Amino acid sequence: MENFYLTTAIDYVNGAPHIGHAYEKILTDIIARHFRKRCENVFFLSGTDEHGIKIQKTSASKGITPKELCDINSGKFQDCWKDLGISYDKFIRTTDDYHKNAVQKIFNKLLEKGDIYKHSYTGLYCQGCECFLNEKDLTEDGLCPDHLTKPEEVSEENYFFKLTKYKDAIVKHIKENPDFIVPSFRANEVLNQLEDIQDISISRSSSNLQWGIPVLNDSRQVIYVWIDALSNYITGLGYDTENNSDNFRKYWPANVQVIGKDILKFHSIYWLALLMALELPLPKQILAHGWITIDETKMSKSLGNVIAPQDILKNFELQNADALRYYMATSAPCGKDGNYSDDDFKEKVNAHLANSMGNLLNRTLSMLVKYFDGEVKPEFKTDASILNTAKNTIDIVKSHFDKYEIAEAGNAIIQLVDVTNKYVTDNAPWTLAKEEKMTECGQVLTSVLDVMCVIASLIEPFCPNIAKDMAEQLSFDLSIKYDDLTIDNIKIGKLIEKENIHPVFLRMDSELADKSGKQK
């Protein structure tokens, strides 16, 4: 695979980022970092969605302009992603001029093609969803099922997109490509939604909505969220219907688009129809992740349990986000809901990153210094059995990533750590040294350190800072791609001095962490 393109949903900037936003970005970043170790070119797009009635109303209530509100909150998202180590290649804002110009061209192209028409309409509009709902979609009390608010009846003359024209083609694509929607069990949900799909409104009257992209040649209409927001995935690459960029030609179609399960309908139906209308290739896969609950309770402002990811870093005095990244990414199987709790977070990362992985590296290097002055000798031949296990784990992890099973990949890495810990216990290098079987002792230690290089490489997408620290202590080149990763990574000669050995992750409740006042 030479090129790999992946996207996140763009976040609505009516508020600040919370742990649910972070979960999606962490998952996508881990996928991007993994495939950078397999592909020549990876392009990772993220961004913010900045138009709509909620922005217009919120900014008015604060006494600032919509753009000022967008600038403030988009900045909060970008700062948060920096703190979490999100390595996007481009951050798009739908208020960017190039995006607005491209959206207007896309609208006009579909209008000229006859896929957009003007129509008077009365419907039930949910401001939270930013979409019209059918009565059958509502709760028994007539409320939006997601926001539990009563939609307002709206009558407008808007532009509509001929979504129904592409219904059969979308059904055919989903049925003929069972791996298109990940996890596959969500495909039936989409097929059920397609049964009674209707054409969709893609503009709003400027008398009701001013904060948006104007329709060219019709100042009374503002382009509505679906063409505006969904188009970011191609405008971010430089698509504008006429003079498309090299990046667009190089990377589109996307290999995977990562979204929350609540917006799967818009991405697997609306988005596909728009692409078909533009005569563009469809994304290869859509990954619909689950939600994150807090202590087994759905996040809600009214409950006061909305958590900002940066607050977690501050509360646990973490200098980087590796522990949170690892915990969030392994919190739920592919597509299922996950849960966050402070106690589980501390317990899991202490067990996996400090006790199992960190301690394994620390005590093995310490024994190498104690018994061999930190030197790997030529006669230390590595053990094929444990190294073959490591080699097989590389293939297992790659296979999980091919199916976007991120939690499962993380579990496979920790299983390799556990197997290696058992290997140390079973072979007892301290006993071999006591019995003066020094060559056998050195072989055990060298084999373990060789496996630790593989572990560092595999864990890097999850924990880039920890992996870097591990690699430095192992004198291992972390930039090696997986296809070039061997089972002979430890070089003959002096590896490390005693003073250079240190824990790569301190237990959150360790005395060292308490004394330093912060985690490493």
Q: What are the backbone angles phi and psi of residue 205, rounded to the nearest 5°?
A: -65, 135
Contact (Cβ atoms closer than 8 angstroms) between residue 472 and residue 329: no
Is residue 80 part of the annotated active site? The answer reads: no
Residue among 298, 381, 434, 494 flagged as catalytic: 298
What DSSP letter does each residue of 422-483 carry, written as one string?
HHHHHH-HHHHHHTT-HHHHHHHHHHHHHHHHHHHHHHTTT-HHHHHHHHHHHT--TT--GG
Question: Is the distance from CB of 441 to CB of 371 less than 8 angstroms?
Answer: yes
- Contact residues for 301 (Cβ-Cβ < 8 A; gap 6+): none
Tokens read off for 486 = 């061997």
Is 398 among the catalytic positions?
Answer: no
Among residues 70, 80, 126, 131, the one annotated as catalytic is: 126
147 given a catalytic annotation: yes
AA letter at 66: P
In angstroms, rounded to a whole number, what is the distance separating the alpha carbons of residues 292 and 429?
A: 43
Active-site annotation holds for 129: yes
Alpha carbon distance 409, 411 (integer Å):
5
39 is catalytic: no
Q: Kindly report the backbone phi and psi dihedral angles of residue 125, in degrees, each rounded to the nearest multiple of 5, phi listed first.
A: -110, 125
**Dist. CA 275–CA 259, nearest whole Å:** 17
165 is catalytic: no
Cα–Cα distance between 361 and 352 in angstroms, integer? Answer: 13
Minimal CA–CA distance to 19: which of 263, 345, 267, 335? 345
Cβ contacts of 251 within 8 Å, gap of 6 or more: 3, 5, 41, 43, 237
Q: Which of 70, 80, 129, 131 is catalytic?
A: 129
Among 70, 80, 131, 144, which one carries the catalytic annotation? Answer: 144
Q: Is 119 a catalytic residue?
A: no
Phi-psi label, residue 120: left if phi above 0, alpha if psi -120 to 50, beta otherwise: beta
Helix (H, G, I), strand (E, B) or coil at 46: strand
For residue 288, the surrounding DSSP H or E stretch is: strand 286-289
Question: Could you confirm whether 441 is annotated as catalytic?
Answer: no
* Main-chain dihedrals φ then ψ at residue 482, nearest 5 degrees: -60, -35
Please report, in angstroms and rounded to a whole number, the separation of the first and last CA atoms in the chain.
36
Catalytic annotation, residues: 18, 21, 126, 129, 144, 147, 298, 301
